[in-house]
């Protein structure tokens, strides 16, 4: 089925700038690819655009008209570049602890329950189904996930993501030196064998009727201190052998940095550990990066590596405040956003975008530098920044010709909305175009700061509806 959408479109093709496309038609073909985004004199003229490149009968074209909604708009789907699916039940627990204590007291115990036993598989299916449903409901069309060290339950996660239709990078946690919680780790040999097992499983998802293009395995050393040098070497070799992306943590906590220095004295800094073992490249996502020094920033830029900024988590665990404005504008580093469940308590990238602005303001209060970012930067990180981090910038992140239709429909007038919109704030037919754009921009701002999943009424991934709250 070909689908023609009509209404206001908002996205951030360029860092620091919001583009508002008023009353535009978006043509999406049956494969989920956007064929055009443009104005048209009428519905019929827009349908002619569809027929120009397609031999379709009228009944083969669905028309979704959202133009009558004065406080509604299409935005790109969110991209969450750092989320621990297995930690979902622990949201809100452990705010009194710093990172390393939080891991030992709460995280490892929970993750170790999701093993290959019958109960472990049952619990994994329950948790993983819930977290994917929840993220989709919040407009997250793509996410880079950590699961656990267990392969069988990680394969369950991959199946659920494919079944639900979410783009997912599936990361089996790799660690063989977890001395602080020794019952939760694998041997070097088992880690590599099981990682290859997961790769094979993901590459054959289509045999179960799933869209393999949506699910990708990702090399996931948990973080350097819990990985032996041999494991890091083997994972670096797997990256080359299978051409896989990489995700891990870096420079989240100062005690963690000191720990890394003690374990890898031959490396000048934390980031260089990953570089030494072939785990730092343009397809690497480094979560946090709060305390990176100038040499590390130069290395990250040189390798075209992306950062995943997790302000909600960094505040919850008192890890620090990443100077993302500097990273974006001075250092020229791509920055995306991550919920970092369950260090983070936000289930939605919308909440993380909000937090990224507020954390930058707090950082500015104690600095002579202008560290503040705004909604344009926050939404860019939530969409385009995430797409770049996942090496998907040519496919998703904006709503434009040639990309896949990964989008969410926002409606501030739903019955249960938390956002109040007054008459004078709504676009009127007699308003001049610039006045309409200003009102729509203000509605966007109201959504970012006051909205939530109730306003996300429909979500599409790869052109297919994955959430529909309007039924």
- 211-234 pLDDT, tens digit per residue, is 888 999 999 999 999 999 999 999
Residue 94 has a pLDDT of 87
CA atoms within a 13 Å half-sphere pointing along the CA-CB vector of 10: 26
Q: How far is C-alpha 201 from the geometric centre of its chain's CA atoms? A: 23
Q: Is the pLDDT of residue 68 over 90?
A: no
Would you say 342 and 93 are in contact if contact means Cβ atoms under 8 Å apart? yes
Pairing of β 72-76 and β 407-411: antiparallel
Would you say 287 and 249 are in contact if contact means Cβ atoms under 8 Å apart? yes
Of 324, 442, 451, the C-alpha closest to 381 is 324
Average pLDDT over residues 246-269: 97
In this predicted model, what pLDDT tens digit does every residue of 89-125 receive, in sequence order?
999 998 888 888 988 889 999 999 999 999 999 999 9
Cα separation, 10 vs 19, in Å, equals 6
CA distances (Å), origin 129, targets 59, 163, 208: 35, 10, 18
Cα separation, 316 vs 288, in Å, equals 13
Q: Is the pLDDT of residue 64 over 80?
A: yes
In this predicted model, what pLDDT tens digit does every residue of 253-263 receive, in sequence order?
999 999 999 99
Q: How far is C-alpha 102 from the geometric centre of its chain's CA atoms? A: 23
Residue 368 has a pLDDT of 81
Would you say 280 and 303 are in contact if contact means Cβ atoms under 8 Å apart? yes
Higher pLDDT, 324 or 206: 324
Q: Which two tokens stand for residue 261?
A: 């220095």
Residue 346 has a pLDDT of 95
Pairing of β 246-250 and β 306-309: unpaired
Average pLDDT over residues 161-167: 97
Q: Tell me the domains of the chain and their CATH numbers.
A: 2-76+398-468 (2.30.40.10), 78-390 (3.20.20.140)
Cα separation, 403 vs 35, in Å, equals 8
Of 415, 403, 379, the C-alpha closest to 167 is 403
Higher pLDDT, 219 or 205: 219
CA distances (Å), origin 48, targets 8, 9, 34, 69, 404: 20, 21, 16, 24, 21
Q: Which two tokens stand for residue 137?
A: 């409901």
Give the range among 180-184, 185-189, 318-322, 353-357 with minimum mean pLDDT.
Answer: 180-184
Residue 361 has a pLDDT of 97
Cα separation, 38 vs 243, in Å, equals 37
CA atoms within a 13 Å half-sphere pointing along the CA-CB vector of 445: 12
| Helices and strands counted in the chain (H then E) | 16, 16
């Amino acid at each position: 089925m070909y689908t023609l959408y009509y209404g206001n479109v908002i996205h951030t093709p360029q860092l620091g700038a919001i583009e508002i496309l008023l009353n535009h038609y978006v043509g999406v073909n049956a494969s989920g690819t956007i064929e055009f985004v443009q104005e048209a004199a009428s519905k019929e003229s827009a349908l002619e655009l569809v027929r120009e490149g397609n031999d379709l009968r009228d009944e083969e074209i669905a028309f979704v008209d959202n133009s009558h909604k004065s406080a509604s708009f299409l935005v790109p789907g969110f991209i969450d570049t750092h989320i621990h699916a297995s930690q979902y039940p622990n949201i809100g627990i452990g705010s009194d602890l710093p990172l390393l204590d939080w891991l030992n007291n709460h995280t490892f115990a929970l993750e170790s329950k999701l093993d290959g036993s019958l109960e472990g598989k049952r619990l994994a299916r329950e948790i993983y189904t819930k977290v994917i449903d929840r993220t989709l409901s919040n407009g997250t069309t793509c996410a880079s996930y950590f699961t656990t060290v267990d392969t069988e339950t990680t394969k369950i996660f991959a199946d659920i993501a494919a079944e639900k239709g979410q783009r997912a990078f599936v990361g089996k946690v790799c660690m063989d030196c977890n001395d602080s919680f020794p019952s939760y780790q694998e041997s070097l040999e088992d880690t590599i064998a099981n990682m290859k097992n997961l790769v094979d499983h993901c590459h054959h998802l289509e045999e179960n009727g799933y869209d393999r293009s949506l699910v990708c395995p990702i090399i996931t050393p948990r973080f350097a201190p819990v990985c032996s040098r041999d494991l890091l070497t083997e994972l670096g070799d797997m990256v080359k052998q299978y051409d896989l992306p990489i995700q891990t943590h870096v420079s989240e906590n100062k005690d963690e940095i000191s720990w890394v220095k003690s374990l890898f004295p031959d490396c000048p800094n934390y980031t260089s550990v990953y570089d030494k073992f072939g785990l730092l490249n343009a397809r690497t996502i480094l979560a946090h990066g709060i305390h990176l020094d100038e040499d590390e920033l130069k290395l990250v830029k040189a390798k075209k590596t992306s950062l995943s900024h997790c302000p909600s988590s960094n505040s919850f665990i008192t890890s620090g405040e990443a100077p993302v404005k500097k990273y974006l504008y001075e250092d020229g580093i791509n920055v995306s956003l991550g919920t970092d469940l369950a260090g983070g308590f936000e289930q939605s990238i919308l909440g993380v975008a909000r937090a990224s602005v507020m954390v930058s303001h707090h950082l500015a209060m104690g600095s002579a530098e202008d560290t503040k970012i705004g909604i344009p930067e926050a939404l860019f990180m939530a969409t385009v920044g995430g797409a770049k981090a996942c090496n998907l910038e040519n496919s998703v992140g904006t709503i434009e010709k040639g990309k896949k239709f990964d989008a969410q429909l926002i409606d501030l007038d739903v019955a249960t909305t938390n956002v109040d919109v007054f008459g004078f704030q709504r676009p009127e037919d007699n308003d001049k175009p610039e006045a309409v754009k200003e009102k729509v921009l203000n509605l966007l701002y109201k959504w970012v700061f006051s909205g939530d999943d109730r306003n996300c009424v429909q979500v599409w991934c790869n052109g297919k509806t994955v959430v529909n709250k309007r039924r």
